Amino acid sequence: EIPITRGRIAIRSVTWGTIPGTTLAHIRISNFSKNVTEDLKKALQEAQKPEVTGIVLDLRNNPGGLLQEAVGVASQFLKDGTVLQVRDAQGKVKDLAVQPGGLATDKPMVLLINGGSASASEIVAGALQDAARGSVVGETTFGTGTVLQQYKLSDGSALLLAFEEWLTPKGRVIWHQGIEPDIEVKLPLDVMHVTPNAERGMTAEQVKSSGDVQLLRAVEELTQPGS
Question: Which 8-state DSSP code applies to residue 206?
Answer: H
Contact 114, 217 (CB under 8 A): no
- What is the model's pLDDT at position 226? 67
| pTM for the model | 0.92
Contact 188, 182 (CB under 8 A): no
- 106: CB partners within 8 A, 6+ apart: none
**Of 143, 169, 132, 124, residue with least CA distance to 27:** 124
3-state secondary structure of 76: coil
Contact 77, 94 (CB under 8 A): no
In which residue ranges of the chain is pLDDT below 50? none
- What is the model's pLDDT at position 9? 73
Q: Which residues pair with 164 in a beta bridge?
A: 88, 147
Q: How long, in residues, is the chain?
A: 227
φ, ψ for residue 109, nearest 5 deg: -150, 160
- What is the model's pLDDT at position 227? 63
φ, ψ for residue 168, nearest 5 deg: -70, 170
- What is the model's pLDDT at position 169? 98
What are the strands, taking DSSP E only, across the chain? 14-18, 24-29, 54-58, 82-88, 93-97, 109-113, 135-138, 146-152, 158-167, 183-184
Cα separation, 119 vs 19, in Å, equals 27
Strands 54-58 and 109-113: parallel
CA atoms within 13 A on the CB side of 151: 5
- 161: CB partners within 8 A, 6+ apart: 148, 149, 151
Run of H or E residues at 191:
none
